[in-house]
Amino acid sequence: MSRHTLLTLGAYMAPLLLYAQQEAALPWPVAEAIRTEARSPGVLRMPELEGVAVALKKQHPSFPTYADSAVHAWIERWTTVERDAFRGMLALWQEQRPFIEAQLSVAGLPRELALLPVALSGMDPLHRDLRGAGIWSLPHAVAVRHGLRVSDEVDSRHQPVLSTFAAIKQFSALAKEFTAKDMQALAMACGPANAVRAQQRLPGSTALKDLVTQVDEADRHIVPRWMAALYLVDHIAALGMKPLVLAPLPATDTCRTVRALPRALMTASLPVDPALFAWFSPTLVGRTIPAGTQLILPKGLCQRLAFITDSLQAQVIAAAPASVPMEEETEERSPDGRETIYHRVVAGDVLGRIAQRYGVTVSELRRWNEIKGDQIDVGEVLTLHVMPSVKRREDRGEDGPARSTPVEGHTWYTVKRGDSLYGIAKRHAGISADSLMRFNKIGPDIRPGQRIKIPAR
């Protein structure tokens, strides 16, 4: 059957049954718009594969483009099964487009990069996977290198403006590092280490179309999605599509927390839709909202929060002993059972010693942190995905194999019922809650009986 065969309304019926499952993972304005919009798919004419390649080259003559079966599959998927989701991506992209394109222009970077976040994250500020986070899916090491704050409580990668500034800095550095346009595009989409490995696996090849087949399997979808997004945006009217009309956001108030509060308890008690709360405050990533945090809440809820804060704090203290097993059960793990921890590089550290300490390989360290060679800088924070037993050992402060340096200049403190990192820090001059988290490699949640290190001052 020809690709020009008209796709009628009937072709959409089975895929539409998937929407109920997909909506929960979509950003709040998109999910709400899809839920309330009367869907009218209309009629689409799918382009021929050869026509896609020609059209991309015509619209983007100075940028490396291509079309193959993977690109075509994404075009078909985004115009059928995931049509409304893609329309939502376009709507989110249009909101950010003027700012992103202006920053690319100032940096002298290709305008085609403006659509890369559609491929990386679907333009979802809350996006997070093992590769990175935010609309640009920035790796932890890249974000910290370019000035973003990334902790267990706050992750600036989820703020589109801040993450765009960091992405532009990274792309500018890659544009100087790689001279060939195809390698530049691949490095910007899949990371420089990934691009170098792809070229090593396919010696002599310089074409983006060939190199993309050699990147790590987990990232092979990125460039085809990018090419599909470029084509669809160029031909959106001809394909009978238009961006989704996003659901309007409710009127809001702004306030600050006066005490640290569990996120789930607070959103349930106000009450506020957790998805809407996440949309308003995308950089808050921890299970606990720290004291002094600025919140954006639907109108009237700031006043209610002030009224119930004391009772919420009382519930936290009363439930403290029962929260221990829940914390263990909800620990975030990757599909292979690994847990994410961070290592701050100190004098004398080398990749081989760090890898041995945490039971990982040097190649994994390089891939997780976008490291090309062996150079690491003192103070740099590395992301590692380790087995649970390794994380427990590090949490207890026990020595592992080839520990980089002995932990000196600290005292031990045993957490008591009702303690918080903020309260412990206040009792020790020159110490902050953030420094305690960094020094102990922990998040904001602590439990009675846990031992933490207090750095000497």
Domains, the chain: 9-234 (1.10.530), 252-329 (no CATH), 331-404 (3.10.350.10), 407-457 (3.10.350.10)
Q: 316: which 2 tokens? A: 């936290």
User: Considering Cα of 76, then 79, then 83, then 89, what sign does the dihedral take?
Assistant: positive
CA distance 425 to 444: 12
Pick the closest to residue 315 from 272, 355, 360, 261 (CA basis).
261
Contact 12, 41 (CB under 8 A): yes
At 250, list the tokens.
């409710």
At residue 382's C-alpha, the angle toward residues 378 and 387, to 5°, is 135
Query: Residue 135, Cβ neighbours under 10 Å: how many?
Result: 28
Q: What is the mean pLDDT of residues 272-280?
A: 92
Locate the DSSP E strands across 126-189: none
Cis peptide bond prior to 243, omega within 30° of 0: no
- Using alpha carbons, select from 254, 404, 268 the residue that is nearest to residue 343: 404
User: Quick one: CA torsion of 115, 120, 126, 131, rounded to 10 degrees?
Assistant: -150
pLDDT > 70 fraction of the chain, expressed in percent and rounded: 82
Ramachandran category for residue 40: left, alpha or beta (phi over 0 → left; psi -120 to 50 → alpha)? beta
Distance CA 269, CA 101 (A): 41
pLDDT digits (tens, 9 = 90+) for 98-110: 999 999 999 999 9
| Mean per-residue pLDDT of the chain | 81
Contact 148, 90 (CB under 8 A): no
Q: What are the pLDDT digits (tens) for 23-64?
A: 346 888 888 888 887 655 544 556 666 789 999 999 999 999
User: For 416-428, what is each residue's pLDDT tens digit?
Assistant: 777 777 778 777 7
